[in-house]
Amino acid sequence: MTVQATENVSTSYSQPSDRRGGFYTAKRFGTPLLVIAALGGLLLFLYSRGEPDKIEAFALNWDYMLAKIDEHIRISLFSAIVVALIAIPMGIVISRSKSRIVSAVVLGLANVGQATPAVGVIILLALTFGIGWATAVAALVIYGLLPVLRNTITGIAQIDPNITEAARGMGMRPLQVLFKIELPLAVPVILAGFRTALVFSVGVATIATFINAGGLGEVIVVGLKLTRPAVLLTGAIVVSCIALLLDWLAGLAEDALRPKGV
């Protein structure tokens, strides 16, 4: 089983970045430039409109925005870390298991999971366990689990069996084969899954506002409900910039952690 991203139905973008070549590629600078341009444009737009009205002023002030940004990043990162802590060991255990049925079942579940709408998951969880931060985290974790789990399994499965046979033939113990050979070689694929999970987290965290978990979704909702386009745009642009920046940072980490010879 090779990781052929293009044939991999279950995910839209869990493939290792293909940034090779030098450090100074357009992609490395493209995202920050885009973010700066978007935020700069937003600020220009807001200031050129003059004083916000009373309703707008509720949201369009630095204290409130920074608090929402902080909430949003916190919940996204926290869930992503929980996801990594659960999904990577789980993926390893599943790929150790001799039976192919187990990983087939997991991958099948992953596909159904992919088809489950995030907003459905989060609202069903809220109806069952109550609203609030913990429920939101649970939804984010459930949603982010699949890409990391799947990529851990495929990342290990795609390794050329000759390489692991050579390792065993040289007398490496199973754990040595895992830690010295398999995991380092699977890192790019696992990280790509983590990156997807991170982007999912930011997106699902936006929806988490429906169950009172705060974050920038709240800004969007305020803008919508009170029909203040400026507020709505601010929330949407800022949260998009966070998603882009986190994705970009994860991409950098991916490049830095990729084993050199690969």
Partner 1 sequence: MANKTGATIELLNVSKVYPNQPEPAVENFTMTINPGELVMLVGPSGCGKTTTMKMINRIIEPSSGSIKIDGQDILTLDQNQLRRNIGYVIQQIGLFPHMTIAENVAVVPTLLGWSKDKIRARVAEMLELVELDPSVFSNRYPKQLSGGQQQRVGVARALSADPPVMLMDEPFGATDPITRERLQAEFQQLQANIGKTIVFVTHDFEEAIKLGDRIAVLSKRSKIEQFDTPANILANPASEYVASFIGEGAALKRLALMRVDSAVESGNATGPAISRDENLRVALDSVVLNAGRPVPVVGGGRVSIESISAALGIDVSRLGQ
Partner 2 sequence: MGKYDLSLIWPFFLDKLDEIIELSTEHVLVVLISVLLATIFGVSLGLFAWDKPLLRSASIATAGVILTIPSMALLALMIPTFGLGWVPTLIALALYSLLPIVRNTVVGLREVPEAVMESARGMGMSPLRVLLSVQMPIAWPVILTGLRVATQLAIGIASIAAYVAGPGLGVYIFKGLSMLGAKNALNFALTGTVMIIIIALLFDALFILIKRLTTSRGIRG
165: partner contacted, choices partner 2, partner 1, none (Cβ within 5-8 A by kind): partner 1
The nearest distance, CB 262 to partner 1, in angstroms, is 5
Binding site for partner 2 (CB under 8 A): 6-7, 9, 11-13, 26-27, 30-31, 34, 111-112, 114-121, 123-124, 126-128, 131, 199, 202-203, 205-207, 210-211, 216-217, 220, 223-224, 229, 232-233, 235-237, 239-240, 243-244, 247
Query: Which tokens in the block code for residue 185?
Result: 């070689």
CA atoms within 13 A on the CB side of 67: 11
Residue 100 beta carbon to partner 1: minimum distance, rounded to whole angstroms: 15
Query: CA angle, 94 as apex, 88 and 97 as ends, to 5°?
Result: 145
Residue 171 interacting partner from partner 2, partner 1, none (CB closer than 5 to 8 Å by kind) = partner 1
Task: Tell me the per-residue interface mask from 165 to 204 with partner 1, x by CB under 8 A, - otherwise.
Answer: xxxxxxxxx--x---xx--xx-------------------
> What contacts 74, CB < 8 A, 6 or more positions away?
none
Among 9, 101, 115, 262, binds partner 1 (CB under 8 A): 262
Q: Which one of 20, 54, 98, 260 is in contact with partner 1 (CB under 8 A)?
A: 260
**Rule CB under 8 A: which of 99-158 touch partner 1?**
none
255 binds partner 1 (CB under 8 A): no
Token pair for 16: 């290792």
Does residue 17 interact with partner 1 by CB under 8 A? no
* Alpha-helical runs (H) found in the chain: 26-48, 54-59, 62-96, 100-115, 118-129, 133-157, 161-169, 174-176, 183-207, 217-225, 229-257
Pairwise CA distance, residues 69 & 61, whole Å: 12
What span, in angstroms and rounded, lies between the C-alpha atoms of 93 and 75? 27
Compute the distance between CA of residue 113 and CA of residue 135 in angstroms, rounded to an integer.
Answer: 18
Contacts to partner 1 by CB under 8 A: 160, 162-163, 165-173, 176, 180-181, 184-185, 259-262
